[in-house]
Amino acid sequence: MNTWVEYWPKPVTNSWHLKWKEPETVTTRYFPDKETAMEFCTVLHHEDKYYTRIKTDGYR
The answer to whether 41 and 50 have CB atoms below 8 angstroms apart is no
42 to 8, 18, 21, 46, 48: CA distances (angstroms): 14, 23, 22, 6, 10
Quote the pTM value.
0.77
Q: What's the one-letter identity of residue 37?
A: A
Predicted confidence at residue 32, as pLDDT, reads 94
- Condensed to tens digits (0 to 9), the pLDDT of residues 7-58 reads 998 877 666 666 777 788 999 999 999 999 999 999 998 877 888 999 998 7
The answer to whether 53 and 8 have CB atoms below 8 angstroms apart is no
Predicted confidence at residue 12, as pLDDT, reads 72
